[in-house]
Structure 1
Amino acid sequence: MHRVPAFPTIREDSMKIDLSDKHAIVSGSTAGIGLAIALGLAQAGATVVVNGRTQERVDQALAQIRDKVPGARLQGIAADLGAPDGAALLFKQVPETDILINNLGIFEAKPFFDISDEEWQRFFDVNVMSAVRLSRHYAPAMVKRGWGRVQFLSSESGLQIPKEMVHYGVTKTALLAVSRGLAETLAGSGVTVNAVLPGPTRSEGVGNFFASMARDQGVASEALERDFLKEHRPSSLIQRLATVEEVANMVVYLASVQASATTGAALRVDGGVVRSIS
């Protein structure tokens, strides 16, 4: 039976997020949204595990965080979490954590009829199974302690499947199902489970994507971004790409004690792209 946690005591006059007694893992955190999340958690005082596929990228990310947060408590682990062996390496070095941010993900624009079986499988392994494996390993100990935070980085593309990358959208929809299902499984345990849905965001991957297209078309990246929003995301209310920091702010809040009553939710940081009031 789940242990019923005590209600947290929160000062009514303060929303200062203090994670100085917490440990966090952020998968795929050497660049973009993942790096911004790792930085935000470190700024809140958490001990943060930074993860990437190569040691060089991990070391670069650690240096960037330490440059902005002197004295940050960090651990870098180079492992491909899209594969079982990589996950096993992480589990061996980091057996438990308080906060798990399943951020690892890949994307690629490709017409539906050109997506092979192998590519479908690769996207599912990296975007979905990495999060499943990590959550399956780390959540039980959180339950035993009566406190924990599990988050899944989905996307507005999980609600509005983009025709230019159906395989990506499908994996992001799957994460919404996994997130809600795990939240139901852990009901009453003191462990919250939520999904965060960024919209078009100026991450390293997206920036490189636009830069590559801009070079091919002989136009400026900024003009291409504006045209993309106008053509593919005309419902955007902020009418610009979000910053990685704006997404990270939501994630850091959900990792806090202040967010103790938010679970089973899908929270959008999409600039209003999804035309829905729910």
Structure 2
Amino acid sequence: MNIDLGGKTALVTGSTEGIGFGIAQGPANAGARVIVNGRTQAKVDAAVARIGGSAVGVAADLASVEGHEQLVAAVPDADIVISNLGIFQPADFFDTDDATWDRHWQVNVMAGVRLARAYLPKMEAKGWGRLLFLGSESAFNIPVEMIHYGVSKTADVALARGLAKRMAGTGVTVNSVLPGPTLSEGVEAMLEAERAKSGKPIEEVAAAFVQEHRSSSIIRRAATVEEVANMIVYLASPLASATTGAAMRVDGGVIDTLM
């Protein structure tokens, strides 16, 4: 299987590090011109330099309408849009105030809504396009330690499904991707204290975390960023033309349902 994204422009939000950076590398390796996005110019510049090739960057905070407008002004058109930007903050439900709920909603949901409004009509006019939302296994396995995050990810899956139906027959597909525990830079930082204490490799520490906190995992380890990016690249390609409205799992089997 040869995935060729030559001639395509791919916008990846929240792509200066972690899963987002890995996702940005994927289309770039397949020949796409990649637009990197992050909140600070320094991080954007560093990510663009690491990717190389024809990658360019736009610094804009997509949690705000102003940041969204800044991004669209700089990137008025894209063939592939990957709404990866997301935040999470563990907190007990009764300690989670309105500001925390609103922040998660604006970043995890409304940033993607605004991207869809801006780019889907242009994709439809061309008769081809790909819009992908980064959901999470937490969209189905709502984590008790951050219910607000799980709710926002469930909304992303529902949004992708609704938009896929709205774009029916246009040549534009819309899907969501559901990573499970993934050994991103953020997860490595979260597990660093345990790694230092145990002296074990970070992969073993992550595997122990998965087995304790996501006991339904079938692979019994954290996924790599590249494994998540591989699914994204396929869905962004012409090869995935019959896949739309789907919630595609890269969760290692954590979600314990048949569908």
Report matched runs for 1:72-83 at 5 Å: 72-83=53-64
Cα distance in 2 for residues equivalent to 1:195 and 1:32? 18
Match of 1:61 among 23, 38, 47: 47
- 2:133 is paired with a residue whose SS is strand
What is the match of residue 69 of structure 1? none
Shift of 1:227: 3.6
Contact 2:208/2:221, CA 8 A, preserved across alignment: no
Pairwise CA RMSD: 1.4
Is 2:242 aligned against 1:245? Answer: no
Aligned pair count? 257
Structure 2: any 5+ residue segments left out of the alignment? none
Select the residue among 235, 249, 252 that pairs with 1:254.
235
TM-score of the pair, normalised by structure 1: 0.89
Residue 38 (1) aligns with residue 24 (2) = yes
Equivalence for 2:217: 236
Paired with 2:20 and 2:132, the residues of 1 have a C-alpha distance of 12
Q: State the distance in 2 between where 1:276 and 1:175 align.
A: 19
- State the match for 1:202 in structure 2: 183
Which residue type is aligned with residue 96 of structure 1? D
Partner-residue secondary structure (3-state), 1:165: helix
Q: 2:158 & 2:124 partners in 1: Cα distance? A: 20
The aligned residue for residue 26 of structure 1 is: 12
1:119 to 90, 94, 100: 100
Counterpart CA distance in 1 for 2:204 and 2:167 is: 46
Q: Give the superposition deviation at 1:210.
A: 1.9
Residue of 104, 119, 143 corresponding to 1:138: 119
Spell out the pairing of 1:7-22 with structure 2 (5 A cutoff). Answer: 15-22=1-8
Distance of 1:84 and 1:48 partners within structure 2 = 23
Deviations 1:149-189 (A, max 9, x none): 00000000000001111111110000011000000100000
Post-superposition Cα deviations, 1:71-123, rounded to whole Å, max 9, x if no partner, equal: x2111000001111100001111111100000000112221111111011001
Q: Which amino acid in structure 2 is aligned with residue 33 of structure 1? A: I
Contact 2:183 2:206 in 1 (8 A): no
Larger Rg: 1
Alignment of 1:171-210 (within 5 A): 171-210=152-191
Partner of 2:148: 167
1:270 Cα deviation from its structure 2 partner: 0.3
Residue 43 of structure 1: CA displacement? 0.5
Structure 2 residue aligned with 1:4: none
Q: Which SS does the other structure have where 1:24 is aligned?
A: strand
For 1:246 and 1:115, locate their aligned partners in 2 and report how far apart those are by CA, in whole Å. 33
CA distance in structure 1 between the aligned counterparts of 2:245 and 2:193, rounded to whole angstroms:
37
C-alpha distance in 1, partners of 2:60/2:191? Answer: 28
Measured after TM superposition, the shift of residue 228 of structure 1 is 2.3
The alpha-carbon deviation at position 261 of structure 1 amounts to: 0.4
Identity %: 56
SS, match of residue 139 in structure 1: helix
Secondary structure of the residue aligned to 1:20 is coil
**What TM-score comes out, normalization by structure 2 length?**
0.96
Distance 1:131 1:79 in 2: 14
Runs of 4+ in structure 1 off by over 3 angstroms are 212-215, 218-224
Q: How much does 1:209 deviate?
A: 1.7
Which amino acid in the other structure matches residue 55 of structure 2?
A: L
Deviations 1:173-209 (A, max 9, x none): 0001100000010000000000000000001111112
CA shift at 1:64, angstroms?
Answer: 1.2
